[in-house]
Structure 1
Amino acid sequence: MKHILLTNDDGFDAVGLKALIEALLPIAKITVVAPARNKSACGHSLTLDKPLRMICVEDDYYKIDDASPTDCIFISLSNLFKEGYKPDLVISGINIGANMGEDITYSGTAAGAMEAVIHKVPAIAISQVCNDKCEDIKNGWDFELAKKVIVELASKILDNSFPLDERKFLNVNIPPIKADECNGIKVTKVGYREYGNDTHRHLNPRGEEYYWIGLHPLIWKPSEKKDCDFEAIKANYVSVTPIMLDLTSYNDIQAIESWLKK
Protein backbone atom coordinates (compact mmCIF):
# COMPACT_ATOMS: atom_id res chain seq x y z
CA MET A 1 0.00 0.00 0.00
CA LYS A 2 1.24 3.49 -0.80
CA HIS A 3 2.39 5.65 2.11
CA ILE A 4 1.65 9.38 2.61
CA LEU A 5 3.32 11.55 5.26
CA LEU A 6 1.23 14.52 6.46
CA THR A 7 2.06 17.71 8.32
CA ASN A 8 0.27 21.01 8.98
CA ASP A 9 1.42 24.39 10.28
CA ASP A 10 -1.86 24.95 12.17
CA GLY A 11 -0.92 22.22 14.66
CA PHE A 12 -1.41 18.49 15.18
CA ASP A 13 -5.10 18.87 16.12
CA ALA A 14 -6.07 21.32 13.34
CA VAL A 15 -9.44 20.79 11.67
CA GLY A 16 -7.84 20.99 8.23
CA LEU A 17 -5.40 18.22 9.08
CA LYS A 18 -8.22 16.01 10.35
CA ALA A 19 -10.14 16.61 7.11
CA LEU A 20 -7.01 15.69 5.12
CA ILE A 21 -6.59 12.42 7.05
CA GLU A 22 -10.25 11.52 6.51
CA ALA A 23 -9.95 12.12 2.77
CA LEU A 24 -6.74 10.14 2.25
CA LEU A 25 -7.21 7.10 4.52
CA PRO A 26 -9.10 5.15 1.83
CA ILE A 27 -6.23 5.42 -0.66
CA ALA A 28 -3.00 5.10 1.36
CA LYS A 29 -1.29 4.36 4.66
CA ILE A 30 -1.09 7.63 6.59
CA THR A 31 1.57 8.89 8.99
CA VAL A 32 1.11 12.28 10.63
CA VAL A 33 3.90 14.40 12.13
CA ALA A 34 2.87 17.94 12.98
CA PRO A 35 3.77 20.79 15.34
CA ALA A 36 2.31 20.61 18.85
CA ARG A 37 0.94 24.15 18.46
CA ASN A 38 0.09 26.61 15.73
CA LYS A 39 3.19 27.63 13.74
CA SER A 40 1.55 29.68 10.99
CA ALA A 41 3.84 31.98 8.98
CA CYS A 42 6.99 30.34 10.34
CA GLY A 43 8.39 29.98 6.83
CA HIS A 44 11.02 27.38 5.95
CA SER A 45 12.55 27.47 9.42
CA LEU A 46 14.60 24.72 11.03
CA THR A 47 15.09 24.62 14.82
CA LEU A 48 18.79 24.53 15.67
CA ASP A 49 18.97 26.11 19.15
CA LYS A 50 17.08 23.54 21.25
CA PRO A 51 16.15 19.85 21.29
CA LEU A 52 12.79 18.76 19.91
CA ARG A 53 10.66 16.01 21.49
CA MET A 54 8.45 13.79 19.35
CA ILE A 55 5.34 12.58 21.18
CA CYS A 56 3.18 9.71 19.94
CA VAL A 57 -0.48 10.77 20.06
CA GLU A 58 -1.77 7.50 18.62
CA ASP A 59 -0.61 4.92 16.07
CA ASP A 60 1.26 6.65 13.23
CA TYR A 61 0.31 10.05 14.65
CA TYR A 62 2.94 12.29 16.28
CA LYS A 63 3.33 15.85 17.51
CA ILE A 64 6.65 17.61 18.07
CA ASP A 65 6.98 20.25 20.79
CA ASP A 66 7.50 23.76 19.38
CA ALA A 67 8.53 22.39 15.98
CA SER A 68 8.00 23.93 12.57
CA PRO A 69 6.57 21.87 9.68
CA THR A 70 10.11 21.82 8.29
CA ASP A 71 11.34 20.22 11.54
CA CYS A 72 8.51 17.68 11.37
CA ILE A 73 9.38 16.53 7.86
CA PHE A 74 13.14 16.58 8.49
CA ILE A 75 12.90 14.54 11.70
CA SER A 76 10.28 12.08 10.49
CA LEU A 77 12.08 11.19 7.26
CA SER A 78 15.23 10.23 9.15
CA ASN A 79 13.61 8.58 12.18
CA LEU A 80 10.23 7.08 11.29
CA PHE A 81 11.20 5.53 7.99
CA LYS A 82 13.67 2.69 7.54
CA GLU A 83 16.95 3.43 5.79
CA GLY A 84 16.45 3.44 2.04
CA TYR A 85 12.69 3.85 2.35
CA LYS A 86 10.74 7.08 2.01
CA PRO A 87 7.04 7.91 1.85
CA ASP A 88 5.54 8.00 -1.62
CA LEU A 89 4.17 11.49 -1.04
CA VAL A 90 4.20 14.32 1.50
CA ILE A 91 1.14 16.56 1.85
CA SER A 92 1.20 19.69 3.99
CA GLY A 93 -2.23 21.07 4.99
CA ILE A 94 -5.10 21.56 4.76
CA ASN A 95 -4.05 25.04 5.85
CA ILE A 96 -6.68 27.46 7.11
CA GLY A 97 -6.29 30.54 4.92
CA ALA A 98 -4.73 31.25 1.54
CA ASN A 99 -1.10 30.70 0.59
CA MET A 100 -0.83 32.68 -2.64
CA GLY A 101 1.55 35.22 -4.10
CA GLU A 102 4.54 36.13 -1.94
CA ASP A 103 2.75 34.70 1.09
CA ILE A 104 4.29 31.41 -0.02
CA THR A 105 7.60 32.63 1.39
CA TYR A 106 6.03 33.11 4.84
CA SER A 107 4.05 29.90 4.75
CA GLY A 108 4.79 27.01 7.10
CA THR A 109 2.45 24.94 4.93
CA ALA A 110 4.52 25.54 1.80
CA ALA A 111 7.69 24.96 3.85
CA GLY A 112 6.60 21.43 4.75
CA ALA A 113 6.36 20.64 1.04
CA MET A 114 9.67 22.41 0.36
CA GLU A 115 11.45 20.22 2.89
CA ALA A 116 10.00 17.08 1.35
CA VAL A 117 11.19 17.83 -2.17
CA ILE A 118 14.66 18.69 -0.85
CA HIS A 119 14.73 15.05 0.27
CA LYS A 120 13.45 13.89 -3.14
CA VAL A 121 9.92 13.09 -2.00
CA PRO A 122 7.03 14.39 -4.13
CA ALA A 123 4.97 16.96 -2.26
CA ILE A 124 1.81 19.06 -2.24
CA ALA A 125 0.94 22.07 -0.10
CA ILE A 126 -2.82 22.63 0.12
CA SER A 127 -4.67 25.59 1.61
CA GLN A 128 -8.34 26.47 2.09
CA VAL A 129 -8.98 30.11 1.25
CA CYS A 130 -11.47 31.72 3.66
CA ASN A 131 -12.85 35.13 4.55
CA ASP A 132 -10.70 37.66 6.43
CA LYS A 133 -11.43 36.20 9.86
CA CYS A 134 -12.08 32.62 8.68
CA GLU A 135 -15.54 32.67 10.25
CA ASP A 136 -16.71 30.11 7.67
CA ILE A 137 -14.12 27.61 8.95
CA LYS A 138 -15.02 28.30 12.59
CA ASN A 139 -18.68 27.64 11.76
CA GLY A 140 -18.01 24.09 10.60
CA TRP A 141 -16.70 24.24 7.02
CA ASP A 142 -16.92 20.73 5.52
CA PHE A 143 -13.78 20.89 3.30
CA GLU A 144 -15.74 18.92 0.68
CA LEU A 145 -14.03 20.55 -2.32
CA ALA A 146 -10.56 20.43 -0.74
CA LYS A 147 -10.94 16.73 0.07
CA LYS A 148 -12.17 15.93 -3.43
CA VAL A 149 -9.25 17.79 -5.05
CA ILE A 150 -6.52 16.34 -2.83
CA VAL A 151 -7.73 12.78 -3.40
CA GLU A 152 -7.67 13.39 -7.15
CA LEU A 153 -4.16 14.85 -7.12
CA ALA A 154 -2.74 12.35 -4.64
CA SER A 155 -4.17 9.42 -6.58
CA LYS A 156 -2.49 10.62 -9.79
CA ILE A 157 0.85 10.96 -7.99
CA LEU A 158 0.58 7.56 -6.30
CA ASP A 159 0.08 6.08 -9.76
CA ASN A 160 3.71 7.16 -10.40
CA SER A 161 2.92 10.27 -12.37
CA PHE A 162 4.30 13.21 -10.33
CA PRO A 163 4.53 15.93 -12.99
CA LEU A 164 7.51 17.91 -11.66
CA ASP A 165 11.29 17.56 -11.54
CA GLU A 166 13.30 17.46 -8.32
CA ARG A 167 13.00 20.37 -5.86
CA LYS A 168 9.60 21.41 -7.17
CA PHE A 169 6.18 20.98 -5.55
CA LEU A 170 2.52 21.74 -6.16
CA ASN A 171 0.94 24.63 -4.27
CA VAL A 172 -2.85 24.20 -4.20
CA ASN A 173 -5.40 26.78 -3.07
CA ILE A 174 -9.10 25.95 -2.71
CA PRO A 175 -11.73 28.68 -3.24
CA PRO A 176 -14.17 29.30 -0.35
CA ILE A 177 -17.14 27.71 -2.12
CA LYS A 178 -19.05 24.45 -2.13
CA ALA A 179 -17.86 21.66 -4.42
CA ASP A 180 -20.75 22.04 -6.89
CA GLU A 181 -19.93 25.74 -7.33
CA CYS A 182 -16.36 25.11 -8.51
CA ASN A 183 -15.51 25.84 -12.16
CA GLY A 184 -12.64 23.34 -12.23
CA ILE A 185 -8.89 23.32 -11.71
CA LYS A 186 -6.68 26.01 -13.22
CA VAL A 187 -2.87 25.83 -13.44
CA THR A 188 -1.60 29.23 -12.35
CA LYS A 189 1.46 31.33 -11.72
CA VAL A 190 2.30 33.04 -8.42
CA GLY A 191 0.47 36.35 -8.12
CA TYR A 192 1.85 39.76 -7.14
CA ARG A 193 0.58 40.33 -3.59
CA GLU A 194 -0.06 43.88 -2.38
CA TYR A 195 0.86 44.40 1.29
CA GLY A 196 -0.11 46.97 3.86
CA ASN A 197 1.39 47.51 7.31
CA ASP A 198 -1.23 46.32 9.78
CA THR A 199 0.52 46.46 13.13
CA HIS A 200 -1.11 47.30 16.44
CA ARG A 201 0.87 48.97 19.22
CA HIS A 202 -0.19 48.29 22.83
CA LEU A 203 1.12 48.75 26.37
CA ASN A 204 1.20 45.96 28.92
CA PRO A 205 0.33 46.65 32.62
CA ARG A 206 3.99 47.59 33.25
CA GLY A 207 3.93 50.25 30.54
CA GLU A 208 6.10 48.24 28.14
CA GLU A 209 5.33 48.38 24.42
CA TYR A 210 4.33 45.32 22.43
CA TYR A 211 2.95 44.82 18.95
CA TRP A 212 0.47 42.55 17.20
CA ILE A 213 0.90 42.00 13.47
CA GLY A 214 -2.55 41.91 11.89
CA LEU A 215 -4.02 40.10 8.89
CA HIS A 216 -3.90 41.77 5.48
CA PRO A 217 -6.78 41.51 3.01
CA LEU A 218 -6.11 39.54 -0.17
CA ILE A 219 -5.22 42.38 -2.52
CA TRP A 220 -3.10 41.75 -5.60
CA LYS A 221 -1.79 43.37 -8.76
CA PRO A 222 -3.78 42.09 -11.76
CA SER A 223 -1.78 39.94 -14.16
CA GLU A 224 -1.88 40.66 -17.88
CA LYS A 225 -3.31 37.25 -18.82
CA LYS A 226 -5.46 36.86 -15.69
CA ASP A 227 -3.56 33.66 -14.95
CA CYS A 228 -2.32 34.06 -11.37
CA ASP A 229 -3.43 32.19 -8.28
CA PHE A 230 -5.48 35.09 -6.87
CA GLU A 231 -7.47 35.48 -10.07
CA ALA A 232 -8.22 31.76 -10.30
CA ILE A 233 -9.63 31.77 -6.77
CA LYS A 234 -11.70 34.89 -7.48
CA ALA A 235 -13.21 33.11 -10.50
CA ASN A 236 -14.12 30.04 -8.37
CA TYR A 237 -11.37 27.79 -9.71
CA VAL A 238 -9.00 25.63 -7.71
CA SER A 239 -5.51 27.09 -8.18
CA VAL A 240 -2.61 24.66 -8.75
CA THR A 241 0.77 26.37 -9.00
CA PRO A 242 4.08 24.58 -9.70
CA ILE A 243 6.72 25.99 -7.33
CA MET A 244 10.49 25.57 -7.60
CA LEU A 245 13.06 26.14 -4.88
CA ASP A 246 15.66 27.68 -7.20
CA LEU A 247 15.29 31.42 -6.51
CA THR A 248 17.95 32.52 -8.99
CA SER A 249 16.93 35.44 -11.21
CA TYR A 250 18.48 34.04 -14.38
CA ASN A 251 17.41 36.98 -16.53
CA ASP A 252 19.57 39.28 -14.39
CA ILE A 253 22.84 37.32 -14.33
CA GLN A 254 24.33 39.05 -17.36
CA ALA A 255 23.16 42.47 -16.17
CA ILE A 256 24.80 41.95 -12.77
CA GLU A 257 28.06 40.80 -14.41
CA SER A 258 28.10 43.99 -16.51
CA TRP A 259 27.25 46.12 -13.47
CA LEU A 260 30.16 44.67 -11.49
CA LYS A 261 32.59 45.54 -14.28
CA LYS A 262 31.65 49.25 -14.30
Structure 2
Amino acid sequence: MSDSLSLLLTNDDGIDAVGFRALYEALSEIADVTAVAPADDQSAVGRKLSSDVTVRQHELGYAIEGTPADCVVAGLESLRPDVDAVVAGCNKGANLGAYVLGRSGTVSAAVEAAFFNVPAIAVSLYVPGGGETPWHEQATDPADFREATRATTYLVEHALGAGVFEQAEYLNVNAPMHDGDPAPIEITRPSTLYEMTADHDGNGTVTLHDRVWDMMRSGDLPDPEGTDRRAVVDGKVSVSPLTAPHSTERHQALDALAETYLDTV
Protein backbone atom coordinates (compact mmCIF):
# COMPACT_ATOMS: atom_id res chain seq x y z
CA MET A 1 0.00 0.00 0.00
CA SER A 2 1.21 3.49 -0.89
CA ASP A 3 1.06 6.17 1.77
CA SER A 4 1.14 8.89 -0.88
CA LEU A 5 -1.93 7.87 -2.88
CA SER A 6 -5.44 7.95 -1.44
CA LEU A 7 -8.64 6.84 -3.15
CA LEU A 8 -12.36 7.01 -2.54
CA LEU A 9 -14.00 3.88 -3.96
CA THR A 10 -17.71 3.78 -4.72
CA ASN A 11 -20.09 1.94 -7.05
CA ASP A 12 -23.77 1.43 -7.83
CA ASP A 13 -24.09 -2.34 -7.36
CA GLY A 14 -23.74 -1.97 -3.61
CA ILE A 15 -20.82 -2.18 -1.22
CA ASP A 16 -21.02 -5.98 -0.89
CA ALA A 17 -20.93 -6.68 -4.64
CA VAL A 18 -18.27 -9.10 -5.90
CA GLY A 19 -16.85 -6.61 -8.39
CA PHE A 20 -16.55 -3.94 -5.74
CA ARG A 21 -14.60 -6.21 -3.41
CA ALA A 22 -12.35 -7.32 -6.26
CA LEU A 23 -11.49 -3.72 -7.13
CA TYR A 24 -11.06 -2.73 -3.49
CA GLU A 25 -8.54 -5.50 -2.93
CA ALA A 26 -6.63 -4.76 -6.13
CA LEU A 27 -6.38 -1.02 -5.47
CA SER A 28 -5.44 -1.58 -1.84
CA GLU A 29 -2.16 -3.03 -3.11
CA ILE A 30 -1.13 0.41 -4.39
CA ALA A 31 -3.15 2.96 -2.40
CA ASP A 32 -5.00 3.85 0.77
CA VAL A 33 -8.57 3.01 -0.24
CA THR A 34 -11.72 4.06 1.60
CA ALA A 35 -15.06 2.67 0.48
CA VAL A 36 -17.99 5.09 0.47
CA ALA A 37 -20.58 3.07 -1.39
CA PRO A 38 -24.32 2.39 -1.46
CA ALA A 39 -25.58 -0.11 1.08
CA ASP A 40 -27.64 -1.84 -1.62
CA ASP A 41 -28.09 -1.97 -5.38
CA GLN A 42 -28.50 1.48 -6.93
CA SER A 43 -28.01 0.56 -10.57
CA ALA A 44 -29.16 2.93 -13.33
CA VAL A 45 -30.13 5.77 -10.97
CA GLY A 46 -27.98 8.30 -12.83
CA ARG A 47 -27.04 11.34 -10.73
CA LYS A 48 -30.06 11.12 -8.45
CA LEU A 49 -29.27 12.97 -5.24
CA SER A 50 -30.79 12.80 -1.74
CA SER A 51 -31.08 15.53 0.88
CA ASP A 52 -30.22 13.25 3.82
CA VAL A 53 -28.54 9.86 3.89
CA THR A 54 -27.89 7.35 6.64
CA VAL A 55 -24.25 6.34 7.08
CA ARG A 56 -22.98 3.24 8.83
CA GLN A 57 -19.52 1.86 9.39
CA HIS A 58 -18.47 -1.00 7.15
CA GLU A 59 -15.33 -3.12 7.21
CA LEU A 60 -14.22 -1.43 3.98
CA GLY A 61 -15.22 2.09 5.02
CA TYR A 62 -18.75 3.49 4.92
CA ALA A 63 -22.07 2.13 3.64
CA ILE A 64 -24.50 4.83 2.55
CA GLU A 65 -28.26 4.45 2.35
CA GLY A 66 -28.30 6.42 -0.87
CA THR A 67 -27.12 6.77 -4.45
CA PRO A 68 -23.64 6.80 -5.99
CA ALA A 69 -23.84 10.58 -6.32
CA ASP A 70 -24.78 10.78 -2.63
CA CYS A 71 -21.70 8.71 -1.83
CA VAL A 72 -19.35 10.99 -3.74
CA VAL A 73 -20.74 14.19 -2.23
CA ALA A 74 -20.81 12.75 1.29
CA GLY A 75 -17.39 11.23 0.84
CA LEU A 76 -15.56 14.21 -0.63
CA GLU A 77 -17.26 16.78 1.58
CA SER A 78 -17.38 14.93 4.88
CA LEU A 79 -16.27 11.32 5.20
CA ARG A 80 -13.10 11.17 3.09
CA PRO A 81 -11.99 14.60 1.83
CA ASP A 82 -8.63 15.31 0.21
CA VAL A 83 -8.34 12.09 -1.79
CA ASP A 84 -6.25 11.98 -4.94
CA ALA A 85 -8.95 10.34 -7.04
CA VAL A 86 -12.37 8.71 -7.04
CA VAL A 87 -12.87 5.27 -8.57
CA ALA A 88 -16.37 3.94 -9.24
CA GLY A 89 -16.87 0.21 -9.83
CA CYS A 90 -16.33 -2.41 -10.74
CA ASN A 91 -19.81 -2.52 -12.15
CA LYS A 92 -21.18 -5.89 -13.25
CA GLY A 93 -22.37 -5.06 -16.74
CA ALA A 94 -20.83 -2.72 -19.28
CA ASN A 95 -21.56 1.00 -19.49
CA LEU A 96 -21.02 1.65 -23.18
CA GLY A 97 -22.34 4.22 -25.60
CA ALA A 98 -23.07 7.92 -25.28
CA TYR A 99 -26.71 7.37 -24.33
CA VAL A 100 -25.77 5.21 -21.33
CA LEU A 101 -23.52 7.79 -19.66
CA GLY A 102 -26.35 9.71 -18.01
CA ARG A 103 -28.21 6.59 -16.86
CA SER A 104 -25.36 4.76 -15.20
CA GLY A 105 -24.88 5.18 -11.48
CA THR A 106 -21.27 4.06 -11.89
CA VAL A 107 -20.47 6.71 -14.50
CA SER A 108 -22.52 9.31 -12.63
CA ALA A 109 -20.33 8.87 -9.57
CA ALA A 110 -17.30 9.76 -11.68
CA VAL A 111 -19.12 12.76 -13.14
CA GLU A 112 -20.01 13.96 -9.63
CA ALA A 113 -16.35 13.75 -8.65
CA ALA A 114 -15.40 15.78 -11.71
CA PHE A 115 -17.50 18.68 -10.44
CA PHE A 116 -15.33 18.62 -7.32
CA ASN A 117 -12.27 18.84 -9.60
CA VAL A 118 -11.21 15.40 -8.40
CA PRO A 119 -9.93 12.97 -11.08
CA ALA A 120 -12.23 9.99 -11.47
CA ILE A 121 -12.39 6.62 -13.17
CA ALA A 122 -15.61 4.66 -13.79
CA VAL A 123 -15.01 0.93 -14.27
CA SER A 124 -17.38 -1.69 -15.66
CA LEU A 125 -17.18 -5.32 -16.76
CA TYR A 126 -18.73 -6.49 -20.01
CA VAL A 127 -20.63 -9.73 -19.35
CA PRO A 128 -21.67 -11.13 -22.74
CA GLY A 129 -24.64 -13.20 -21.56
CA GLY A 130 -26.31 -15.61 -23.90
CA GLY A 131 -26.27 -19.38 -23.50
CA GLU A 132 -28.05 -21.17 -20.70
CA THR A 133 -26.83 -18.88 -17.91
CA PRO A 134 -28.37 -15.39 -17.77
CA TRP A 135 -25.78 -12.61 -17.76
CA HIS A 136 -26.70 -11.47 -14.24
CA GLU A 137 -25.84 -14.95 -12.92
CA GLN A 138 -22.37 -14.81 -14.45
CA ALA A 139 -19.25 -13.01 -13.12
CA THR A 140 -19.70 -14.31 -9.58
CA ASP A 141 -15.99 -14.86 -8.89
CA PRO A 142 -13.52 -12.02 -8.21
CA ALA A 143 -11.21 -13.60 -10.80
CA ASP A 144 -13.79 -12.81 -13.50
CA PHE A 145 -13.03 -9.12 -12.92
CA ARG A 146 -9.27 -9.49 -13.42
CA GLU A 147 -9.06 -7.52 -16.67
CA ALA A 148 -10.97 -4.63 -15.11
CA THR A 149 -8.97 -4.57 -11.88
CA ARG A 150 -5.63 -4.89 -13.69
CA ALA A 151 -6.38 -2.02 -16.10
CA THR A 152 -7.78 0.20 -13.34
CA THR A 153 -4.77 -0.37 -11.11
CA TYR A 154 -2.48 0.56 -14.01
CA LEU A 155 -4.43 3.74 -14.75
CA VAL A 156 -4.56 4.81 -11.11
CA GLU A 157 -0.82 4.30 -10.80
CA HIS A 158 0.12 6.15 -13.98
CA ALA A 159 -2.62 8.46 -15.30
CA LEU A 160 -2.46 11.02 -12.50
CA GLY A 161 1.23 11.70 -12.97
CA ALA A 162 1.07 11.53 -16.77
CA GLY A 163 -1.17 14.59 -17.06
CA VAL A 164 -4.18 12.63 -18.33
CA PHE A 165 -6.57 14.59 -16.12
CA GLU A 166 -5.30 17.92 -17.38
CA GLN A 167 -7.41 17.19 -20.46
CA ALA A 168 -9.94 14.58 -19.38
CA GLU A 169 -12.08 15.03 -16.28
CA TYR A 170 -12.89 11.34 -15.95
CA LEU A 171 -12.22 8.04 -17.68
CA ASN A 172 -14.92 5.54 -18.56
CA VAL A 173 -13.31 2.09 -18.51
CA ASN A 174 -15.01 -1.06 -19.79
CA ALA A 175 -13.22 -4.40 -19.71
CA PRO A 176 -14.03 -7.84 -21.06
CA MET A 177 -14.24 -10.82 -18.73
CA HIS A 178 -10.89 -12.45 -18.06
CA ASP A 179 -10.13 -15.19 -20.56
CA GLY A 180 -6.48 -16.11 -20.85
CA ASP A 181 -3.89 -13.52 -21.90
CA PRO A 182 -4.18 -9.92 -20.66
CA ALA A 183 -6.33 -7.70 -22.87
CA PRO A 184 -4.76 -4.59 -24.40
CA ILE A 185 -6.07 -1.09 -23.68
CA GLU A 186 -7.63 0.93 -26.50
CA ILE A 187 -8.45 4.62 -26.18
CA THR A 188 -11.98 5.07 -27.48
CA ARG A 189 -14.92 7.38 -27.93
CA PRO A 190 -18.48 6.53 -26.82
CA SER A 191 -20.55 4.96 -29.58
CA THR A 192 -23.54 6.98 -30.80
CA LEU A 193 -25.51 3.94 -31.96
CA TYR A 194 -28.97 3.98 -30.32
CA GLU A 195 -31.35 1.05 -30.71
CA MET A 196 -34.01 1.36 -27.99
CA THR A 197 -37.44 -0.04 -28.88
CA ALA A 198 -40.80 0.13 -27.12
CA ASP A 199 -43.51 -2.47 -27.73
CA HIS A 200 -47.06 -1.98 -26.52
CA ASP A 201 -48.96 -5.21 -25.82
CA GLY A 202 -52.37 -3.56 -26.09
CA ASN A 203 -53.15 -4.33 -22.44
CA GLY A 204 -51.46 -1.47 -20.62
CA THR A 205 -47.82 -2.60 -20.75
CA VAL A 206 -45.02 -1.14 -22.85
CA THR A 207 -41.84 -3.22 -22.93
CA LEU A 208 -38.61 -1.28 -23.42
CA HIS A 209 -35.71 -3.12 -25.01
CA ASP A 210 -32.16 -2.15 -25.88
CA ARG A 211 -31.34 -4.03 -29.11
CA VAL A 212 -27.65 -3.12 -28.90
CA TRP A 213 -27.07 -5.97 -26.43
CA ASP A 214 -28.53 -8.47 -28.91
CA MET A 215 -26.18 -7.12 -31.56
CA MET A 216 -23.19 -7.44 -29.26
CA ARG A 217 -24.00 -11.06 -28.42
CA SER A 218 -24.58 -12.02 -32.05
CA GLY A 219 -21.50 -10.20 -33.36
CA ASP A 220 -23.70 -8.13 -35.70
CA LEU A 221 -22.53 -4.78 -34.35
CA PRO A 222 -22.14 -1.87 -36.79
CA ASP A 223 -20.03 0.22 -34.41
CA PRO A 224 -16.82 1.31 -36.16
CA GLU A 225 -13.24 0.97 -34.98
CA GLY A 226 -12.39 3.42 -32.22
CA THR A 227 -15.72 3.19 -30.41
CA ASP A 228 -16.07 1.81 -26.90
CA ARG A 229 -18.42 -1.03 -27.80
CA ARG A 230 -16.34 -2.20 -30.73
CA ALA A 231 -13.23 -2.35 -28.54
CA VAL A 232 -14.89 -4.47 -25.84
CA VAL A 233 -16.52 -6.86 -28.31
CA ASP A 234 -13.07 -7.31 -29.86
CA GLY A 235 -11.69 -8.33 -26.44
CA LYS A 236 -9.96 -5.07 -25.54
CA VAL A 237 -10.21 -2.79 -22.51
CA SER A 238 -11.98 0.37 -23.63
CA VAL A 239 -10.86 3.65 -22.02
CA SER A 240 -12.82 6.74 -23.00
CA PRO A 241 -11.45 10.10 -21.78
CA LEU A 242 -14.45 12.34 -21.10
CA THR A 243 -15.48 15.68 -19.65
CA ALA A 244 -18.32 16.31 -17.24
CA PRO A 245 -21.56 17.45 -18.87
CA HIS A 246 -22.49 19.63 -20.39
CA SER A 247 -20.52 21.35 -23.13
CA THR A 248 -21.67 24.80 -24.18
CA GLU A 249 -21.18 26.34 -27.62
CA ARG A 250 -22.35 29.56 -29.20
CA HIS A 251 -25.32 28.96 -31.46
CA GLN A 252 -26.01 31.65 -34.05
CA ALA A 253 -29.61 30.67 -34.71
CA LEU A 254 -30.43 30.70 -31.00
CA ASP A 255 -28.60 34.02 -30.56
CA ALA A 256 -30.82 35.49 -33.26
CA LEU A 257 -33.97 34.29 -31.50
CA ALA A 258 -32.82 35.87 -28.23
CA GLU A 259 -32.22 39.21 -29.99
CA THR A 260 -35.74 39.34 -31.45
CA TYR A 261 -37.58 38.01 -28.40
CA LEU A 262 -38.64 41.37 -26.94
CA ASP A 263 -39.93 42.46 -30.34
CA THR A 264 -42.54 39.70 -30.19
CA VAL A 265 -43.98 40.15 -26.73
Q: Same fold (TM over 0.5)?
A: yes
SS of 1:197's equivalent in the other structure is strand
1:116 aligns with 2:106: no
Among 93, 97, 119, the alignment partner of 2:93 is 97
Which residue identity does 2:162 align to in structure 1?
S
The whole-number CA distance in structure 1 between the counterparts of 2:200 and 2:19 is 28
Quote the residue 1:5 is aligned against: 8
Quickly say closer, same or farther: Cα 1:244–1:150, change in 2 above 3 A.
Answer: same
Which residue identity does 1:125 align to in structure 2?
A
1:247 aligns with 2:249: no
CA RMSD in angstroms, aligned pairs only: 2.8
The whole-number CA distance in structure 1 between the counterparts of 2:9 and 2:200 is 34
Which residue identity does 1:193 align to in structure 2?
L
SS of 1:124's equivalent in the other structure is strand
Give me the TM-score of the superposition, normalised by structure 1. Answer: 0.82
- Aligned residues of 1:70 and 1:108 also touching (Cα < 8 A): yes
Quickly say closer, same or farther: Cα 1:216–1:222, change in 2 above 3 A.
Answer: closer
Which residue identity does 2:22 align to in structure 1?
A
Quote the residue 1:222 is aligned against: 223
1:87 aligns with 2:83: yes
The whole-number CA distance in structure 2 between the counterparts of 1:242 and 1:26 is 25
Give me the TM-score of the superposition, normalised by structure 2. Answer: 0.82
Quickly say closer, same or farther: Cα 1:228–1:37, change in 2 above 3 A.
Answer: same
Quote the residue 1:61 is aligned against: 61
Quote the residue 1:153 is aligned against: 155
1:73 to partner: Cα distance? 0.7
1:35 to partner: Cα distance? 0.8
Give the total of aligned pairs: 245
Quickly say closer, same or farther: Cα 1:181–1:64, change in 2 above 3 A.
Answer: closer
1:27 to partner: Cα distance? 0.5
- Aligned residues of 1:129 and 1:176 also touching (Cα < 8 A): yes
1:161 to partner: Cα distance? 2.9
1:248 to partner: Cα distance? 2.9
Gaps of 5+ in 1: 204-208
1:255 to partner: Cα distance? 3.7
1:72 aligns with 2:71: yes
Quote the residue 2:170 is aligned against: 169
Which residue identity does 2:57 align to in structure 1?
C
The whole-number CA distance in structure 2 between the counterparts of 1:200 and 1:26 is 51
Quote the residue 2:197 is aligned against: 197
- Aligned residues of 1:6 and 1:90 also touching (Cα < 8 A): yes
Gaps of 5+ in 2: 216-220, 261-265
- Aligned residues of 2:145 and 2:177 also touching (Cα < 8 A): no
The whole-number CA distance in structure 2 between the counterparts of 1:35 and 1:199 is 33
The whole-number CA distance in structure 1 between the counterparts of 2:222 and 2:253 is 26
